[in-house]
């Protein structure tokens, strides 16, 4: 894995969930390394990736991304990573009806362990390059996401289609919620952490903290 640039304002912790072999690892490897692996193997437990991205012209954030195993026998391990995640990418395979039908179960499980007000969810229909084998239409994916109030995008780790867009969507939504105070830095929660080597822009919650330190009349 390449070294991550140390200059970033915040760190966002993301988790990728979904059935085994839907392409979560391939998606992450394309995003971080710019290529799809020649051989895909099922993740055992969890794997870790990181990349610094821009959320606006002046602000960079580090995405700390956790690739989780989809097999049932590893679900207890996966559940331990939910609480400290601020972004959830729910991935299914457009050539697998079972992986799409299980999306609702994955959503319910994530909501059970994550405070809904503390996370951004994005539904990802993966393997969009396999049009001849598609069994889930793009409209199906859009309707599921819309019905649950979530964002949606189709991607391919083979062609690179919308891979950057998928991670940009979740990171920019998190940053927008942080900037307007809907998300806050909290002790004991690793979903969002301050960065290093870069000036941290003022957001609503930071201004509130400063006011509390100064008192009602300031100083």
What are the Cα distances from residue 119, in Å, to 71, 97, 98, 178, 179?
23, 26, 25, 11, 14
Q: What is the CB neighbour count within 10 angstroms for residue 196?
A: 12
Percent of the chain with pLDDT over 70: 77
What's the gap between Cα 171 and its chain centre? 7
Tell me the pLDDT tens digit for each residue of 68-88.
764 444 456 667 778 899 999
User: Would strands 120-126 and 87-93 be described as parallel, antiparallel, or unpaired?
Assistant: parallel
Query: Which pTM value belongs to this model?
Result: 0.82
Ordered by start, the domain boundaries in the chain are 8-214
pLDDT at 8: 93
The CA-CA-CA angle for residues 193, 119, 2, to 5°, reads 50
Q: Cβ contacts of residue 99 below 8 Å, gap of 6+?
A: 18, 19, 22, 92, 93
Dihedral sign (CA 82, 28, 125, 96): negative
CATH code, residues 8-214: 3.40.50.300
The CA-CA-CA angle for residues 190, 47, 120, to 5°, reads 45
Tell me the pLDDT tens digit for each residue of 156-195.
999 999 999 999 999 999 999 999 999 999 998 999 999 8
């Amino acid at each position: 894995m390449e070294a991550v640039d140390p200059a970033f304002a915040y760190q966002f912790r993301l988790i990728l969930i979904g059935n085994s072999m839907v392409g979560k690892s391939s998606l992450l490897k394309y995003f971080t390394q710019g290529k799809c692996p020649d051989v895909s193997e099922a993740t055992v437990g969890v794997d870790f990736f990181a990349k610094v991205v821009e959320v606006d012209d002046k602000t960079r954030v580090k995405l700390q991304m956790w690739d989780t195993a989809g097999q049932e026998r590893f679900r207890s391990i996966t559940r331990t990573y939910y609480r400290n995640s601020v972004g959830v990418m729910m991935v299914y395979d457009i050539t697998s009806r079972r992986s799409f039908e299980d999306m609702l179960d994955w959503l319910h499980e994530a909501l059970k362990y994550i405070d809904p007000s503390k996370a951004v969810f994005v539904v990802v229909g993966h393997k969009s390059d396999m049009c001849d084998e598609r069994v889930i239409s793009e409209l199906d994916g859009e309707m599921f996401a819309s019905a649950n109030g979530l964002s949606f995008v189709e991607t391919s780790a083979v062609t690179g289609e919308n891979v950057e867009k998928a991670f940009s969507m979740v990171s920019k939504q998190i940053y927008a919620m942080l900037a307007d105070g809907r998300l806050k830095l909290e002790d004991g929660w690793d979903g969002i952490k301050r960065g290093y080597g870069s000036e941290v822009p003022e957001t609503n919650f930071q201004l509130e903290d400063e006011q509390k330190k100064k008192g009602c009349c300031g100083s």
